[in-house]
Amino acid sequence: MKSFYKLKVADIQKVTQDCAVVSFEVPDDIQDAFTFKQGQYLTLKHDINGEELRRSYSLCSSPLDKEWKIGVKKIEGGRFSGFVNDVLQVGDTLEVMPPDGKFYVEIDSEQKRQYAAFAAGSGITPIYSIIKTHLTAEPKSTFKLFFVNQTTASIILKEELEALKNQFMDRFEIFYFLTKERRSVPLFNGRIDEEKLDILFKTVCDPAALDHSFICGPEAMIHLIDDRLRKSGAGKDQVHFELFGTSADAGKAQQKELAASLKDKHCKVTIIEGGVGLDFDMEQGSNNVLDEALANAADLPFACKGGVCATCKAKVIEGDVKMLLSYGLEEDEKEQGFILTCQAIPTSDKLVVDFDI
């Protein structure tokens, strides 16, 4: 199981009014554990007002620079993002889990690839890491970025993107879309929708020529662009996305229905972790496996609790569960019996879940 390490905050830069880029100092003796791929994220843990909170934030630096930076946008009512933006100071210590995530493709310096990226708001953080790394390490590859923001002032990492554009002038293009400020070309006003995609794909970006596309933003945007790229012939392994903006509340209505239909049925749960078994009883449909196990004093890995990060992944050895959300699992993992325990609701009399596999 991945553990948390105490890391010192080396620097904090306000890159927009409501977004801070935090750099961590990673001591030499743990740098191996913190080796990362472009597009991966860090999970942070901190006690805020007496409650332990965990959040995952994408690394917005390139692994080539050996820098560990995350971008944290302040969300209205967001306790962790508010803490990072308003309270956290240089020299403070946070508990940080080593990098994780599947939002990347391997670098191949021999390849001449055409990439496209679609980002909205803070979705630029992993995308920036991806673009910088591929352009630097693959001298023949090109990148086109389609980036949606509300206003020019709210564009996160704008200076860094412009610097990349200057450095890789003939291999990197950026198309900014603004939703709350008028641009002179109507195409660049408002979100990316079907009509805009049609125009973009007929003019500045041939989807059939793309080797890989990366999408990071809200779910609706991801589905729209993913669908459109697939219709243009892109394979499943050529479209990569990272969902920003799902919450632990998604799927709650589905769970309520399940709880009502399984009322008064019980499940004997066994959790295997670190070679040790933990047994407890719970009502079927009443809660997810992870929360119930944590309430029974288990020490299990988790981060987003929203079905995205897959930190809580485990395998069902016996019994059945109903999954609420499963963004973080591949189809073949589901077929092999893997579940996201934060989204798995027991629906059988007995359930054995193994975290060690």
Which residue ranges make up the site for ligand FES (CB under 6 A)?
302-305, 307-312, 328, 340, 342
Question: CA-CA distance, 47 to 70, in Å (whole number)?
Answer: 19
Least Å from the CB of residue 135 to ligand FES: 30
Least Å from the CB of residue 204 to ligand FES: 36
Least Å from the CB of residue 243 to ligand FES: 11
Least Å from the CB of residue 48 to ligand FES: 18
Least Å from the CB of residue 324 to ligand FES: 10
Give yes or no for a contact between 101 and 309, defined as CB atoms under 8 angstroms apart.
Answer: yes
Task: Read off the tokens for 307.
Answer: 């079905």
Tell me whether residue 99 or residue 207 sits nearer to ligand FES (CB atom): 99
Least Å from the CB of residue 226 to ligand FES: 20
Tell me whether residue 211 or residue 291 sits nearer to ligand FES (CB atom): 291
Q: Which of 15, 138, 3 is nearest to 74 (CA)?
A: 15
Residue 24 C-beta-side C-alpha neighbours within 13 Å: 29
Tell me whether residue 262 or residue 309 sits nearer to ligand FES (CB atom): 309
Tell me whether residue 94 or residue 310 sits nearer to ligand FES (CB atom): 310
Least Å from the CB of residue 342 to ligand FES: 3
Residues written for the chain: 357
> DSSP alpha helices (H): ranges in the chain?
79-86, 124-137, 158-167, 194-203, 219-231, 252-261, 289-295, 331-335
Tell me whether residue 171 or residue 313 sits nearer to ligand FES (CB atom): 313
One-character DSSP codes across 249-307: TTTHHHHHHHHHHTTT-EEEEEEEETTEEEEEEEETTSS-HHHHHHHTT-----S-SSS
Cα torsion 327, 328, 333, 337 to 10°: value is: -80
What are the C-alpha distances in Å from 268 to residues 126, 150, 261, 349?
A: 41, 50, 18, 6
Tell me whether residue 104 or residue 146 sits nearer to ligand FES (CB atom): 104
Q: Which of 258, 216, 205, 206 is nearest to 240 (CA)?
A: 216
Tell me whether residue 149 or residue 311 sits nearer to ligand FES (CB atom): 311
